């Protein structure tokens, strides 16, 4: 049976996240929410992240500003700001937010050396982070209707798909219930586990997947 892990990046947003949380709740599903600094900037957004934790979802540090990919600015200051400042912000505002997971960003989900600098890997090691990658990016932000078919194609062909969606007001999340219905009809199991190939670091230890991911060209959704 193929498996699917749902991840939602760059949120939350007041417009899209509450309905995503309700859709998941109605189906008894859990997901990973990869949040960025501005998620914790307003009381409303902060409340949504707290809500995610209380509903049993996993929260991931997805950087403070989500602007320059870590590998594109190899300075220690950049790694400190994006990873450590976000980490402190999460600790200060969320209290216990679960195991430490980080997800890198940049270039629409392409895999490559732009995802990490040596300084950022050293920082993640120091803080004993695990690192979550992905293997399906249906580009829901620029294809708010068609992403469903693109994602289903990945779910059908891959043993375990780690899908990147965005809980942002692009309109894409309107099709989330339909997508989940189709996944259900295919007999695909939705799980909150992640396959080894999508974990680049576990509790600060680099995995075999790390070096492969940094040199591999994108394989899907192009
Ligand atoms: Zn992102």
If you measure from the C-alpha of residue 63 to the centroid of ligand 1, how many angstroms do you get, rounded to a whole number?
8
If you measure from the C-alpha of residue 9 to the centroid of ligand 1, how many angstroms do you get, rounded to a whole number?
5
If you measure from the C-alpha of residue 116 to the centroid of ligand 1, how many angstroms do you get, rounded to a whole number?
14
If you measure from the C-alpha of residue 65 to the centroid of ligand 1, how many angstroms do you get, rounded to a whole number?
10
If you measure from the C-alpha of residue 2 to the centroid of ligand 1, how many angstroms do you get, rounded to a whole number?
25
- What Å distances lie between residue 117 and 78, 104, 121, CA to CA? 10, 11, 6
The pLDDT of residue 215 is 66
If you measure from the C-alpha of residue 200 to the centroid of ligand 1, how many angstroms do you get, rounded to a whole number?
16
Domains of the chain: 3-215 (3.20.20.370)
If you measure from the C-alpha of residue 189 to the centroid of ligand 1, how many angstroms do you get, rounded to a whole number?
25
If you measure from the C-alpha of residue 164 to the centroid of ligand 1, how many angstroms do you get, rounded to a whole number?
9
| Ordered per-residue pLDDT tens for the chain, 222 residues | 999 999 999 999 999 999 999 999 999 999 999 999 988 989 999 999 999 999 999 999 999 999 999 999 999 999 999 999 999 999 999 999 999 999 999 988 888 889 999 999 999 999 999 999 999 999 999 999 999 999 999 999 999 999 999 999 999 999 999 999 999 999 999 999 999 999 999 999 999 888 777 765 444 443
If you measure from the C-alpha of residue 177 to the centroid of ligand 1, how many angstroms do you get, rounded to a whole number?
22
If you measure from the C-alpha of residue 109 to the centroid of ligand 1, how many angstroms do you get, rounded to a whole number?
8
The pLDDT of residue 209 is 83
Find out whether 64 and 95 touch, Cβ atoms under 8 Å.
Answer: no
Q: What is the DSSP letter of 56?
A: T
The pLDDT of residue 208 is 83
Q: How far apart are CA 104 and CA 63, in angstroms?
A: 7
Q: How far apart are CA 6 and CA 154, in angstroms?
A: 13
The pLDDT of residue 111 is 87
| Both tokens assigned to 216 | 């591999």
Return the SS3 of 102: strand
Return the SS3 of 101: strand
If you measure from the C-alpha of residue 72 to the centroid of ligand 1, how many angstroms do you get, rounded to a whole number?
15
The pLDDT of residue 220 is 45
DSSP string, 122-161: HHHHHTT-EEE--SB---TTT-TTTHHHHHHHHHHHSSEE
The pLDDT of residue 218 is 46
If you measure from the C-alpha of residue 112 to the centroid of ligand 1, how many angstroms do you get, rounded to a whole number?
15
């Amino acid at each position: 049976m193929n498996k699917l892990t749902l991840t939602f990046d760059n949120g939350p947003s007041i417009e899209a996240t509450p309905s995503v949380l309700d859709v998941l709740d109605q189906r008894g599903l859990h997901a990973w929410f990869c949040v960025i600094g501005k998620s914790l900037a307003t009381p409303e957004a902060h409340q949504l992240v707290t809500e995610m934790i209380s509903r049993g979802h996993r929260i991931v540090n997805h950087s403070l500003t989500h602007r320059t990919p870590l590998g594109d600015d190899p300075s220690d200051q950049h790694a400190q700001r994006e990873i450590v400042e976000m980490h402190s912000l999460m600790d200060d505002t969320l209290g216990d937010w679960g195991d430490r997971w980080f997800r890198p960003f940049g270039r629409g989900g392409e895999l490559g050396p732009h995802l990490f600098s040596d300084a950022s890997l050293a920082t993640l090691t120091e803080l004993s982070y695990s690192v979550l990658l992905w293997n399906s990016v249906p580009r829901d932000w620029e294809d708010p209707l068609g992403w469903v078919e693109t994602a289903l194609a990945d779910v059908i062909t891959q043993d375990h798909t780690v899908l990147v969606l965005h809980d942002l007001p692009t309109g894409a999340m309107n099709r989330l219930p339909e997508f989940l219905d189709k996944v259900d009809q295919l007999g695909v199991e939705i799980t909150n586990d992640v396959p080894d190939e999508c974990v680049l670091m576990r509790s600060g230890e680099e995995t075999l997947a790390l070096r492969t991911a940094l040199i591999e060209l994108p394989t899907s959704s192009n």
